[in-house]
């Protein structure tokens, strides 16, 4: 017996908890035979099975009790176990309690987000159905799938005429300029084996001017480029790739779902005839301006998954005040108009003349861009090609007796190219990212025309198309279009931290603070400071990790993991890395330590959107923390604080939703 004891002693000293659980396990078997139910649900409910302790406290009490029993009945074993295993047991239960608490908090965050999103959509869909009894989510999704396939076909054919009736001017301008660029380069894009994998109603919102629905579209296709003349493939992959986009459609609140189909089906939603549009975008049969949203849904924006997020226009500074004087104003129509301005600006830079944008921008702006945008055709100049817009967001409105100003943020990417005279441009860099603020101006007292809200590239007076020319007035009715007396015009474009734009953003903040002090409410935040999109944050990662012009497998794994978690295509990451390697990565990055910390906190908040930070996201945040000289402890504390704040917020909202049901 002593020999056995001597053989067991080292094992017990190294693994004291093993014997503890073996011994007390036998004791519990006998206890349960008499009805040991008291061990089955040891922790207190604490109000609904929560509280975050995870059972650690009750488990510790149980452990102490069993250790005391072991010391009494088996002192030669119990005392060494108590000395060596006690602290270890306390540490294990402490860690397990924290893990359980973290899991509980994460679950509450995820459940709260899901409940809020579902409840918001349910309420807004119910509001839509109350006004339009024939509306169904399934019917809408089916129409969006049809619209998606039609637009892919139009894209491959470089002809948007077949879908012109259900897309806004902003979307039309975007595709038209891209087609011009492709034709000049002698190619077209081809998409084969297109397949819509999933569609979901991501967001539904209503305001006095528009109902807005946003549909998440997940699709798969083989995407490559072919020579326009020969049809031979010249670039791209023959492997099908999956992508996700968010498609936003607008409609006037009084519009009704049509049993016979409408714009997407090629029918006039007013008279039912097969639809043909005239120059002003009106049905040739009945004269209705069908793309106004008055009759049917109109596509106004396509947003990449890595940039999409739910917006609430009610929180935008200056919007409510402007609507008192201009009830028909809508941020959606403003964003459509600035999209037209953006693509006309790209056309101006490519063509070397301000004519494409002259009717949409002030005389001062047109004079200023001649030098800044290297306009002209006689010398070598740099132009953007392969442009893509990630998102367009209204930041707010500044009201002034001298004139109202609107600030909008556009996140976009392009490849730099050199053009000599009128020769085709030659690419000189990989893709670059830009985050710019567009400042629009309108004379105070001008009001919006609801019927022409989505006809941003047409004269607001007569409805004629706004053509590229040296004149600043409409060729049909003579209305001067670039002085702000008829509609919003472009006054300035600059980076986020341009001094003049910073002053305007400060004015927005002051306006918010004044309104908040008067109303006693929490002021909304002014966008464009720390709210960077997923692609900008990925570019920051590339900038940090490739600062030594080398990328090892671990760094690439970190970047790829973060990109996948945020829905950023691998091709865009390849472009960012290539640009960084060539010293051409032109992307927004934090300019101060405070900004960098804010970006890091935003990464944590984005990662916690579903309550959990996966390994790839955590390692990415750690890597950027190293750049900021933050320890892993500091970064972990940042994540924990964010999780705790989100937990408390979602816990309160879950209770509120349950009480309202």
**CB of 288 closer than 8 Å to CB of 295:** yes
d(Cα 646, Cα 359) in Å, to the nearest integer? 47
Structure tokens at 359: 């009717």
Rounded to an integer, what distance in angstroms lies between the CA atom of residue 346 and that of residue 340?
A: 10
Q: How far is CA 176 from CA 158, 191, 303, 433, 593, in A?
A: 8, 18, 18, 22, 42
Residues sharing a CB contact under 8 Å with residue 238, sequence separation 6 or more, in sequence order? 222, 224
Q: Are 576 and 542 in contact (CB under 8 A)?
A: yes
3-class DSSP state of 306:
coil
Residue 549's pLDDT is 67
Beta-carbon contacts of 113 under 8 Å, excluding residues fewer than 6 positions away, are: 609, 610, 611, 650
Closest CA to 56 of 81, 92, 8: 92
In 132-204, which ranges are continuous DSSP H helix?
Answer: 137-157, 169-185
Q: Are 460 and 485 in contact (CB under 8 A)?
A: no
> What's the DSSP call for residue 452?
G
Spatial distance between the Cα atoms of 646 and 116, rounded to a whole number of angstroms: 13
Rounded-to-integer distance, Cα 164 and Cα 172, Å: 7
What pLDDT sits at residue 532?
63
**What parts of the chain have a pLDDT lower than 70?**
1-67, 70, 73-74, 78, 81-119, 311-315, 377-378, 512-533, 548-551, 584, 586-588, 609-610, 657, 660-661
Q: What are the phi and psi torsion angles at 387 (to 5°)? A: -75, 145
Query: H or E element: which one contains 251?
Result: strand 241-251
Phi, psi (rounded to 5 degrees) for 330: -145, 135
Helix locations, 36-136, DSSP H: 56-73, 75-80, 86-131
Q: What is the token pair recorded at 147? A: 């619209």
Structure tokens given for 555: 């760094």
Quick one: tokens of 435?
A: 């985050």
Helix axis angle, 534-545 to 615-627, nearest 10°: 60
Quote the CA–CA distance of 272 and 657 in Å, as a whole number: 43
Tokens of 368: 């200023």
Give, in order, the Cα–Cα distances in Å from 71 to each of 20, 80, 378, 380, 643.
11, 9, 95, 89, 42
Q: Residue 41 contacts by C-beta under 8 Å, 6 or more apart in sequence?
A: none
Strands 211-227 and 404-420: unpaired
The burial of 639, by beta-carbon neighbours within 10 Å (0-12 exposed, 13-18 middle, 19 or more buried), is given as buried
φ/ψ of residue 495, rounded to 5 = -70, 170
Strands 211-227 and 187-206: antiparallel
Contacts 24+ apart (CB under 8 A), 348-352: 348/373, 348/375, 349/373, 349/374, 349/375, 349/383, 349/384, 350/180, 350/181, 350/383, 350/384, 350/385, 350/419, 350/425, 351/377, 352/376, 352/377, 352/381, 352/419
pLDDT at residue 217, as a whole number: 95
Residue of 390, 394, 336 whose CA lies nearest to 527: 394
Which tokens sit at 364? 């001062």
CA 165 to chain centre: 27
Write the DSSP symbol of residue 391.
Answer: E
Who's near 124: CB < 8 A, 6+ residues apart?
204, 205, 206
- Provide the 10 A C-beta neighbour count for residue 477: 11
Please, which residues bridge with residue 396 across strands? 407
For residue 380, list its beta bridge partners: 420
For residue 33, the model assigns a pLDDT of: 33
């Amino acid at each position: 017996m002593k020999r056995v004891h001597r053989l067991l002693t080292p094992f017990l000293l190294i693994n004291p908890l093993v014997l503890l659980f073996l011994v007390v396990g036998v004791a519990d078997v006998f206890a349960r035979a008499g009805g040991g139910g008291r061990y089955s649900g040891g922790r207190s409910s604490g109000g609904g099975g929560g509280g975050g302790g995870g059972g650690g406290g009750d488990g510790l009490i149980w452990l102490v009790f069993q250790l005391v029993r072991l010391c009494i009945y088996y002192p030669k074993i119990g005392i060494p176990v108590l000395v060596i295993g006690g602290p270890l047991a306390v540490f294990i239960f402490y860690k397990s309690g924290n893990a359980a608490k973290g899991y509980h908090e994460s679950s509450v965050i995820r459940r709260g987000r899901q409940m809020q999103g579902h409840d918001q959509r349910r309420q807004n869909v119910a509001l839509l159905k109350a006004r339009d009894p024939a509306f169904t989510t399934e019917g809408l999704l089916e129409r969006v799938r049809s619209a998606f396939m039609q637009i892919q076909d139009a894209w491959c054919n470089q002809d948007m005429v077949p879908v012109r009736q259900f897309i806004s001017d902003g979307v039309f301008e975007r595709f038209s300029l891209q087609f011009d660029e492709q034709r000049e380069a002698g190619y077209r894009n081809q998409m084969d084996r297109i397949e819509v994998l999933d569609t979901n109603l991501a967001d539904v919102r209503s305001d006095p001017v528009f109902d807005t629905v946003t549909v998440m579209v997940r699709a798969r296709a083989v995407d490559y480029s072919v020579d326009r003349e020969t049809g031979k493939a010249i670039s791209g992959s023959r492997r099908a790739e999956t992508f996700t986009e968010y498609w936003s459609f607008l409609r006037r609140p009084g519009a009704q779902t049509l049993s016979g189909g409408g714009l997407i089906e090629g029918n006039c939603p007013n008279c039912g005839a097969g639809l043909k549009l005239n120059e002003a975008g009106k049905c040739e049969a009945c004269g209705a301006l069908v793309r106004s949203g008055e009759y049917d849904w109109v596509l106004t924006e396509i947003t990449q998954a890595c940039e999409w997020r739910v917006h609430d226009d009610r929180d935008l500074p200056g919007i409510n005040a402007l609507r008192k004087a201009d009830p028909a104003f809508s941020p959606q129509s403003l964003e459509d108009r600035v999209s037209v301005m953006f693509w006309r600006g790209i056309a101006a830079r490519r063509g070397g003349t301000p004519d494409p944008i002259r009717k949409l921008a002030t005389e001062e702006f047109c004079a200023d861009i001649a030098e800044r945008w290297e306009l002209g055709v006689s010398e070598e100049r740099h132009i953007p090609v392969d442009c893509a817009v990630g998102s367009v967001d209204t930041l707010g409105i500044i009201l002034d007796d001298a004139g109202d100003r609107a600030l909008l943020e556009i996140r976009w990417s392009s490849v730099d190219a050199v053009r000599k005279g009128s020769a085709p441009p030659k690419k000189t860099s990989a893709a670059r990212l830009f985050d710019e603020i567009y400042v629009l101006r309108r004379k105070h007292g001008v009001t919006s025309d609801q019927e022409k809200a989505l006809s941003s590239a047409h004269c607001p007076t007569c409805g004629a198309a706004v053509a590229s020319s040296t004149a600043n007035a409409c060729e049909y009715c003579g209305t001067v279009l670039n002085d702000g007396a008829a509609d919003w015009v472009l006054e300035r474009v600059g980076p986020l931290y341009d001094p003049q734009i910073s002053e305007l953003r400060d004015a927005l903040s002051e306006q918010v603070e004044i309104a908040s002090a008067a109303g006693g409410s929490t002021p909304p935040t002014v966008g464009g400071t720390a709210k960077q999109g997923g692609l900008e944050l990925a570019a920051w990662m590339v900038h940090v990790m490739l600062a030594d012009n080398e990328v090892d497998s671990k760094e690439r794994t970190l970047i790829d993991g973060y990109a996948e978690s945020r829905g950023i295509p691998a091709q865009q990451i390849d472009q960012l890395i290539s640009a960084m390697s060539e010293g051409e990565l032109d992307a927004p990055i934090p300019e101060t330590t405070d900004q960098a910390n804010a970006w890091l906190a935003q990464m944590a908040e984005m990662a916690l959107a579903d309550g959990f930070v996966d390994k790839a996201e955590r390692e990415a945040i750690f890597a950027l923390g190293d750049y900021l000289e933050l320890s892993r402890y500091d970064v972990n504390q940042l994540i924990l604080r964010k999780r705790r704040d989100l937990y408390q917020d979602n816990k309160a909202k879950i209770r509120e939703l349950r009480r309202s049901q």
